[in-house]
C-alpha cells in the first residue's frame, strides 16, 4: 500500500482527528498544523498495523528522513511480518535503522537463546561487522575468570546459573590517545527470575528485556563508530542470568568489591546494580572525561515516568537536564529524577558499608538505586545514570508495537555530541591547576 503525507486534517469518515485515512489502495498520513509530525507518523504506522495492513510504501517528497524513521519505529514488529519500503534517503538513515533494528531484535530475543555468552558474542560480532577490527580491541572474561579480574558483582549474580556470567570490554580508539574520553556501561541481565527474592509470574514475563542496557550501550558505540565521532571510548557489558540454585547468592550475603566498598544483599532481585558496579569501577580506573551507564534498573522509574520516558540521574544536574534536552532534540523522551547526598544516606547498612536495596514508604527507589551506583564512581568524574524505563513495552501503545523500542540510543549519542567537548575543556583546565 502506498502511503502519502498531507498537511491537512481529515474531514471524512475516518474522523476529524484521524492520523491516517484510506482512499482506494492508498493511505494518507495527516500532519495538520499544531500536531507533532514525528508522533503522527508513529501513530499512523501503529494504526495501519492494527487494521491489518502489513505492507507500506512511503511515497512522495514530503517523507523526510526523520518522518521515514518515525514511521519505521511505529511499524517495527517483533516477528517482522510488516514490510516497509521508501524512496531516496540518506546514508545516515540507513545506519540508524541498521543499528536500532539490531538493538530491538537483540532485546526481543528469547532468554533461552540469548544467554550471557551469546549476548557478548552478538555484541562483539556486530561491532566488528561495522568497520572490521580497525581501532578496536576487546577482552572477554567468563565464569571463574571474573573473580580473577575483579568483576565480583557479575560473578556473584551469575554463579547460580548453568549459563556462566561474563564481562565484555570493547576499546574503540580512533584517536590513538591514551586518554579515555567516554566510558559506557550496560546492564546485561539476560533473564531475571529475581533469584531467591523471586518475582511473580507477571513480573517475570518481560525479563528477557533486562539486558536492554547492554543492547542500548552497544548501539550507542555502534552509532559513534558509524558517525565517525572522534572519541576514545570504552564499553563494558556486564552479563549474567539471575537464577535460583544451590550456588546462587542469597539474602544477607556480603559482597566485598575491589574498590573497598562492602555491600549487604537485602534483595537478590536488586541484582542489576551489582553487575553495573563492576563496570563503573573499571571505568573509573580509566579516569575518563565522562561515564554513562544505562540499565532497566528499577520499577520505581516506571512508576514515576511510565514507559514513555527514560529517567536521567546525576549529582550534576547540568548532565541530567542536559540529557533531557538532547533526548528532545532527537524526538525521544527523558526526564530528570533527583539524586542527592540524602539518597546515599538511605542505603546505609549496619553490617556493611551499604545495602543493595531499601524498602518502605517514602523511599525513592530509582534515586536510591542511582545513589548505590555512585559508590563505584570515582569522585570528580562526571557521571550520568540512565534508568531505561522507556525501552520495552509489554503491550502496544499508540506509537509503538509491543517489544523493544530502541528508545535511548539516539539520545545518548546526541548527548555525547552535545556535551563531551565542553567536559573535555573543563577537564583540561582542572588538569592544569
Active site residues: 199, 273
CB 323 within 8 A of CB 411: yes
> What is the radius of gyration, based on Cα positions, of the chain?
22
Q: E strands of 204-349, at which residues?
A: 233-242, 254-256, 262-264, 290-295, 310-313, 334-336
Nearest to 386 by CA among 304, 318, 298: 298
Q: Could you tell me the end-to-end alpha-carbon distance of the chain, in angstroms, rounded to an integer?
A: 64
- Which residues, other chains included, contact 404 with Cβ-Cβ below 8 Å and sequence gap of 6+? 103, 104, 105, 106, 107, 108, 209, 212, 215, 391, 392
Phi, psi of 386 (to 5 degrees): -120, 115
**Residue 149: how many other CB atoms lie within 10 Å:** 15
Between 212-226 and 91-108, two packed helices, what is the crossing angle to 10 degrees?
160
CA 153 to CA 255: how far, in whole Å?
Answer: 8
User: Which residue has cell 495492513?
Assistant: 53
Sheet with 2-6, strands from edge to edge, namely: 20-23, 26-30, 2-6, 55-58, 83-86
What is the spatial distance between Cα 396 and Cα 412, in angstroms, rounded to a whole number? 24
Please choose, from the candidates 337, 350, 347, 336, the residue with its C-alpha nearest in 3D space to the C-alpha of residue 372.
347
| C-alpha cell read off for 60 | 512522495
Report how far residue 86's alpha carbon sits from residue 80's, in angstroms, rounded to the nearest whole number.
17
Q: What is the DSSP letter of 383?
A: E
CB 419 within 8 A of CB 413: no
Amino acid at each position: 500500500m502506498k502511503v502519502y503525507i498531507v498537511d491537512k486534517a481529515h474531514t471524512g469518515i475516518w474522523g476529524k482527528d484521524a492520523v491516517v485515512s484510506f482512499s482506494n489502495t492508498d493511505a494518507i498520513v495527516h500532519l495538520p498544523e499544531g500536531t507533532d509530525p514525528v508522533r503522527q507518523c508513529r501513530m499512523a504506522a501503529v494504526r495501519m498495523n492494527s487494521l491489518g495492513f502489513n505492507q507500506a510504501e512511503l511515497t512522495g517528497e514530503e517523507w523526510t528522513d526523520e518522518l521515514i524513521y518515525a514511521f519505521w519505529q511505529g511499524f517495527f514488529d517483533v516477528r517482522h511480518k510488516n514490510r516497509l519500503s521508501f524512496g531516496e534517503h540518506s546514508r545516515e538513515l540507513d545506519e540508524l535503522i541498521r543499528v536500532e533494528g539490531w538493538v530491538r531484535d537483540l532485546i526481543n530475543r528469547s532468554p533461552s537463546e540469548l544467554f550471557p555468552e551469546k549476548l557478548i558474542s552478538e555484541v562483539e560480532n556486530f561491532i566488528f561487522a561495522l568497520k572490521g577490527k580497525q581501532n578496536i580491541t576487546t577482552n572477554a572474561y567468563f565464569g571463574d575468570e571474573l573473580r580473577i579480574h575483579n568483576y565480583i558483582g557479575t560473578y556473584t549474580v551469575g554463579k547460580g546459573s548453568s549459563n556462566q556470567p561474563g564481562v565484555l570490554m570493547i576499546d574503540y580508539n580512533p584517536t590513538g590517545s591514551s586518554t579515555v574520553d567516554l566510558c559506557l556501561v550496560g546492564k546485561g541481565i539476560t533473564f531475571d527470575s529475581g533469584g531467591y527474592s523471586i518475582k511473580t509470574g507477571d513480573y517475570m514475563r518481560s525479563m528477557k528485556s533486562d539486558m536492554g542496557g547492554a543492547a542500548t550501550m552497544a548501539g550507542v558505540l555502534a552509532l559513534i563508530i558509524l558517525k565517525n565521532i572522534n572519541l576514545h571510548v570504552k564499553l563494558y557489558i556486564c552479563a549474567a542470568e539471575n537464577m535460583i540454585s544451590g550456588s546462587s547468592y542469597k539474602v544477607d550475603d556480603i559482597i566485598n568489591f575491589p574498590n573497598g566498598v562492602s555491600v549487604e544483599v537485602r534483595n537478590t532481585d536488586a541484582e542489576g546494580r551489582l553487575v553495573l558496579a563492576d563496570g563503573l569501577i573499571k571505568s573509573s580506573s580509566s579516569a575518563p572525561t565522562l561515564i554513562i551507564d544505562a540499565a532497566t534498573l528499577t520499577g520505581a522509574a516506571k512508576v514515576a515516568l511510565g514507559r514513555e520516558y527514560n529517567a536521567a540521574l546525576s549529582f550534576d544536574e547540568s548532565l541530567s537536564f542536559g540529557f533531557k534536552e538532547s533526548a528532545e532534540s532527537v524526538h525521544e523522551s527523558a526526564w530528570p529524577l533527583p539524586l542527592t547526598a540524602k539518597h546515599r544516606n538511605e542505603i546505609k547498612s549496619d553490617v556493611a558499608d551499604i545495602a543493595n536495596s531499601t524498602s518502605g514508604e517514602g523511599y525513592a527507589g530509582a534515586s536510591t538505586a542511582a545513589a548505590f551506583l555512585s559508590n563505584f564512581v570515582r569522585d570528580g568524574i562526571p557521571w550520568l545514570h540512565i534508568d531505561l524505563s522507556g525501552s520495552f513495552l509489554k503491550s502496544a501503545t499508540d506509537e509503538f508495537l509491543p517489544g523493544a523500542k530502541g528508545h535511548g540510543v539516539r539520545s545518548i549519542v546526541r548527548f555525547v555530541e552535545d556535551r563531551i567537548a565542553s567536559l573535555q575543556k573543563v577537564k583540561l583546565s582542572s588538569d592544569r591547576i
